[in-house]
Amino acid sequence: MSTTMIRQLLHWWGSGEPPPCDARVFEHGAQVGVYAPWGRSWEIEKTIRRVSSETKTLTDWHFYAGRVSVVTLNATDVERVATCLGALVTDAKRIVAVRL
């Protein structure tokens, strides 16, 4: 784990706010989907980090109008990320079926 990531996590745990979305992903990424929150911020962060690790993609998330917006850097990875996220978040009733 990088020093930057450790600093972000320590700030996050102290403030209750998740670390900011990766700027490259936020500005240039492809939308994977907009989902209803499936847990608290730290649970969402943990899930998205796992998705990023398992798919070997640069994937991040941010809140958008009370929903979880999941974004990945490369448009070619959208389906793979969505499939992995769907497998990890098993409570399908809580996922908004909106794909942009």
Report whether pLDDT(100) > 90.
no
Does the residue 87 lie in any domain? Answer: yes
User: Model pTM?
Assistant: 0.77
Question: Residues 34-89: pLDDT tens digits?
Answer: 888 888 888 899 999 999 999 999 999 998 888 889 999 999 999 999 999 989 98
Whole-number Å distance between alpha carbons of 37 and 31: 16
* Containing structural domain, residue 65: 21-94
Residues 60-67: contacts with CB within 8 Å, 24+ apart?
60/21, 60/22, 60/25, 60/26, 60/29, 61/21, 62/20, 62/21, 62/26, 64/34, 66/37, 67/34, 67/35, 67/36, 67/37, 67/96
pLDDT, mean of residues 18-27: 88
Whole-number Å distance between alpha carbons of 10 and 18: 10
Does the residue 1 lie in any domain? Answer: no
Structural domains counted in the chain: 1
Does the residue 28 lie in any domain? Answer: yes
pLDDT, mean of residues 84-100: 66
Structure tokens at 53: 């690790």
Residue 92: the pLDDT is 45
Q: Grade residue 2 by pLDDT with cuts at 50, 70 and 90.
A: low
Does the residue 9 lie in any domain? Answer: no
Does the residue 6 lie in any domain? Answer: no
CATH number for position 34: 3.30.1370
Residue 89: the pLDDT is 86
Does the residue 48 lie in any domain? Answer: yes
Whole-number Å distance between alpha carbons of 86 and 54: 13
